Amino acid sequence: MTLVYLPAQVPPCPQLTSTPTGAQDLATDLRAAAIAVKNVQGRAASVAAPAWEGDTAQAHDHAATQVAVRLDGVEAALDEAVTAADRFAARLSRLFVRRARINADRAEVNELIGALVAEVAAAADDSRLAEFRQRADVLHRRAAALRGRIDAWVLARAEAEVDLVAAFQGVDSVAEGVAAAADPARHRTGDLTRQLRRLRGDPAALAAWWRGLRRAEQQALTTEHPGLVGNTGGVSMAERDEANRGELARDLDYYREREKDDQLTSKEERVLDNARSVDRALDEHAGPTDDAGAHLTKLLAYAPGLHSGDGGVAVGFGDPDTADHVSVNVPGLTTDTSSIGGSLDKTFVLHEAAVGEERGSVATVYWADYDAPSGNPLNPLDPLGQVDFDGVALTDKAEAGGERFGDFVDGVRGSDQGPPAHLTAIGHSYGSTAVGHALAEGLPVDDVVLLGSPGVPADTAGELTDAQVWVGSKDHDPVSLLGDGDRGGVGALGHDPADTAFGGTRFETGDGDLRAEELLHNHTSYFTGTSLANLAHVVAGADDEVSEQPPRGAPGGGHLTLPELLVAASGASAGEGLADGGRWLWEHSKFGGRL
């Protein structure tokens, strides 16, 4: 056969020598150092001058001034380094996406080259010579273009690394740090802080104002007030994550040092325990990345000393500012920051299931930033449960939690970019009651899911909200039998949303196992099986895929009454069942999960 000049296979685009997540972690460490320096500066400034006079007093003032100038320089230098690391991370993310596209195009071209090579080798004569040469010419051009893209990518990767090193070298001396501190933007921090506080109740206005700031101004505010920036609705979720991770790293460093010197107060011990719990949870979920190679996990709220020491935290998978579908999951009784591990696992399982629906991008948030009742009143081995019984039986904490949850959701709406996301609120157990109170105050969501609910503050779904109300309620879940309804019920926390009169859409969850040792497990297993599948359908807007079951009291909607449940739990006769069942609930109610 006459010669056909065939193109060679295109080599793969090289790996990133630095990764977006690595750059993000570097920025977090630098940000934590900047926050720590600012804290030292604040403590130094608060030290009163000694009651000295004359030369001694002047020497003290001079030394204090020198320390302040140097600390200003250090802080400014670290802020510049953080900004450079953030910029580097963003460039790496863009390179990550470019590389994925290059390699996808390379795979296609190499497959076509391989196919042409095989056809040419199998040809018995020159009858297809013109076709082969035409195809080879096209593939030569495509392969050359790909090699050019790879070369440009390698150059861009090198430039990103050179620019990062240059930025660090630009602030690696005292003089350069002092010069950076002279930037006029840094002297506006006080005014900007006042503006931030003034706009804090209006997330939409704050989001517009925040986007208008220079990066140096945003960074100065984050260093000065990481807790404020990290917990304010309207600040972008990515930058809330940056501020909160910086504060977390600073807390761990500071309190661990105090722990080594045996200086921790009992309150500080709780803060350190909470910080460690959050850090472990983030580490456990550090592996997954988004489509740009950056951390999938975001720390959206972090307040380890709030709520009587229980702490407050919110962690998201994905970016709520850019996702098509956003859900926020609110847990219930005994929730505190130390319980974040298992609860976050459930949220991640839901996130993966919702992504699997393939109906757009997804962000899934675990929100535990309210003072949930701390104890389990049904567990006699939990003294706190008995002390905190009023918190469980009354709605005060649910009302307060609903207000805080409403503020968080307003923030989600305020910083949203592009078309408004489809937003779903999910409340489990006492968390459903808190969500119910938020709904009663006009919570701006499209869908709401109430799981294992002990009651919500309305007799019908229409009275509660304009959103679509979905109810997951297992008949063999004892907590879900507490709400008031046509079938009876305790009703201390409100109406049973699974009741036919309420008017919500009850989806299939499975009833659970009607055995004494499994009853309370039924309450903690909504993020599995059929129930999980239906949750994912709702979160991803796949309402047509949800499998339903009749509400309690409707034809086909069988249910257990509380006396029947106690009889079943005890395995005794009806006469003995109430007493034995009540005793069983008292003796066997150590929850395997969180209410």
pLDDT (0 to 100) of residue 40: 81
Average pLDDT over residues 438-444: 97
pLDDT (0 to 100) of residue 577: 39
Tell me whether residue 290 is in a domain: no
How many residues are present in the chain?
595
| Torsional sign, CA 536, 589, 384, 458 | positive
pLDDT (0 to 100) of residue 124: 86
Mean pLDDT over each residue of the chain, to the nearest integer? 87
pLDDT above 80 (res 54): no
CATH number at residue 391: 3.40.50.1820
Q: Between 178 and 82, whose confidence is greater?
A: 82
Domain that holds residue 413: 296-559
Nearest to 359 by CA among 306, 408, 323, 410: 323
pLDDT above 50 (res 378): no
pLDDT above 70 (res 497): yes
Considering 172, 201, 224, which residue would you say is the last residue of a domain? 224
Q: Between 521 and 60, whose confidence is greater?
A: 521
pLDDT above 70 (res 351): yes
Regarding whether 43 and 148 lie in a shared domain, the answer is yes
Regarding whether 197 and 177 lie in a shared domain, the answer is no
pLDDT above 90 (res 158): yes
Total domain count, the chain:
3
Average pLDDT over residues 50-55: 64
Regarding whether 163 and 110 lie in a shared domain, the answer is yes
Tell me whether residue 242 is in a domain: no
Tell me whether residue 516 is in a domain: yes
Tell me whether residue 514 is in a domain: yes
Q: What tens digit of pLDDT does each residue of 164-188 get?
A: 999 999 999 989 998 888 887 777 8
Regarding whether 477 and 336 lie in a shared domain, the answer is yes
Regarding whether 365 and 331 lie in a shared domain, the answer is yes
Regarding whether 305 and 193 lie in a shared domain, the answer is no
Regarding whether 189 and 42 lie in a shared domain, the answer is no
Regarding whether 365 and 472 lie in a shared domain, the answer is yes
pLDDT above 50 (res 304): yes
pLDDT (0 to 100) of residue 52: 63
pLDDT above 90 (res 382): no
Regarding whether 534 and 463 lie in a shared domain, the answer is yes
pLDDT above 50 (res 576): no
Q: Between 463 and 375, whose confidence is greater?
A: 463
pLDDT above 70 (res 69): no
Regarding whether 441 and 408 lie in a shared domain, the answer is yes
Tell me whether residue 98 is in a domain: yes
Share of the chain above pLDDT 70, in %: 82
Question: CB under 8 Å to 67, separation ≥6 — which residues?
Answer: 44
The answer to whether the beta carbons of residues 496 and 488 sit under 8 Å apart is no
pLDDT above 90 (res 480): no
Tell me whether residue 593 is in a domain: no
Tell me whether residue 141 is in a domain: yes
Q: Between 40 and 365, whose confidence is greater?
A: 365
Lowest-confidence pick of 32-41, 295-304, 581-590: 581-590
pLDDT (0 to 100) of residue 574: 39
pLDDT above 90 (res 43): no
Regarding whether 302 and 208 lie in a shared domain, the answer is no
Considering 182, 200, 232, which residue would you say is the last residue of a domain? 182
Q: What is the 3-state secondary structure (H, E, C) of 155-203?
A: HHHHHHHHHHHHHHHCCCCHHHHHHHHCCHHHHHHHHHHHHHHHHCCCH
Regarding whether 543 and 410 lie in a shared domain, the answer is yes
Tell me whether residue 239 is in a domain: no
Q: What tens digit of pLDDT does each residue of 306-329 get?
A: 998 999 999 999 999 999 999 999
pLDDT above 80 (res 563): no
Question: CB under 8 Å to 366, separation ≥6 — which residues?
Answer: 313, 314, 315, 316, 329, 331, 340, 343, 344, 346, 347
